[in-house]
Structure 1
Amino acid sequence: MNMTIEEIKSVSIYNWMKENGYGAGSIKGKNVFYCSPLRSEKTPSFVVNTKDNLWYDFGTGKGGNLINLVEQINSAWTMHEVLGYLEKQIKEKRLQFNEDFNARILEEEKKRQWLTGKRIEYQESKNQETIVDKVIPLTHPILRDYIIQRHIDFAIAQKYCKEVHYSFRGRQYYAIAFMNVVGGMEARNKLSKRCIGKKSISAIYPNEVPQKECCIFEGFFDMLAYMTMSARMPGNGVTVVESCDLFVLNGVGEVRLLLPYLKRYDSIHCFLDNDEADRTATKEITKAYPNKSIDESYRYQCYNDLNDFLLEKK
């Protein structure tokens, strides 16, 4: 299921009733009255509150949200069948969200854009004070130990990462460097993580020539964990058997930069984190490529991300 339960519950019951042959009902302010879909009657006693997006049947004393309604109408169905049916209807009939839900989504998007702008401003101010001294092959023993502590194969990390030495506000630092498509880099050590240069996604082609399938990760440690499992843990139950190109978002805020890169692929495997922000990113990818995208996060559903899974299973 691509939609969350909260999203399905927030679909307009009034719109669902109208699209499923129950008519427009008798509108009285914020309430709309119907003949009950749960029983036979001639006088309408089934009410939908369009403000709260809830229903109540005076004849049975039952009520609830849209999911509860479909459960009552189809009492023999499992919850999986109910949710699958509703998600299919929402897509096919283009059912509308309740107005309050739409307003909340719009407000959340404005907030996300504002926070993204502030993060960019902060990153740019830090970059103005950052001087990159050198970028070299990854060899520093402290960085090596940190990578090994994360159960990442160090030879794999050396293949895909560099080592950066930089100055910030007069102090010297060193970190693992993971390059992105515009020449910036994610810089990470045991104590901190930051971006040096412009923020963007990273694209990796392990087979040197483009493949028909790709995998997407939120951060480069998840990508390294994936490659470690592929190389060292046969039958791990997480990695896919097909050869894939690799994309790293370097933060869920970069998902829209990724979308144009995905056009050419037959299958898109999403290995994003099991948190709300990454689930939203997965849905955005799936919305853009509904017939190609595969949410693979169920493979490590008890863990926050791939690296956490590797730390537990190693």
Structure 2
Amino acid sequence: MRYTEKDIPGMPITAFLDALGEKSVGGYGYLKLYYAPYRDDAEALLVVDTKMNNWYDHGTDESGNLYDLAELTARGDHRKDISGYIVKMMNDNEIAKEMLTKRAIEPQVIHLDIAKMQLTDFMKALGQKHPVAADGDLRIYNSPYDSSAKGTMVINVRTNLWRDTKSGANGGIYDLAYEMTGCANKSELNRYIAGEMNALQKKQLKAEEKTEPPKPKRKMRL
């Protein structure tokens, strides 16, 4: 399913929170309890009324609808277009679910320490075998999540961090996986990253098999 701005009035707040990677941690009946996605709290203080499709924050006494919640969670350029931000997060989450469903992970085939993985290796898995340019410790790539952004993603191979000069997005491998999928759940991001790396490993093994010289045929003895 793909959403448009026309769908926003009927979107459940719980579905938007799911797109942000937030899961309900309790509640009663039609009231669902969440950690506020725009704050780092020690306890869950955000209550969603699924019947009225509105929310209340016990930490600030703020309340509102889906649009109000999106305004609190939007960052950077997304603040300029809240409706577009809502649609993007919802659609990115749908795409992430589809990708995770299609990609079967085989843990016995690939064992990764994802936190230590080189971003340049992950870029190979995303289809960019080589950077478009290099300058010292910097490697420049086309954005893997924005086809219109050419040469805007910069990876520092020394720090193993990246930055998008167009959008301002930056971070490590999990941040890049988030930009690719729109999913903020770490276990699902682990599955996504491992799936991409596993697919790359299989391609490399097939390529190696093709380049191996054919074994000589046994001569028949007369």
**TM-score, L = length of structure 2:** 0.36
Larger RCO (alpha carbons 8 Å, 6+ apart): 2
Larger radius of gyration: 1
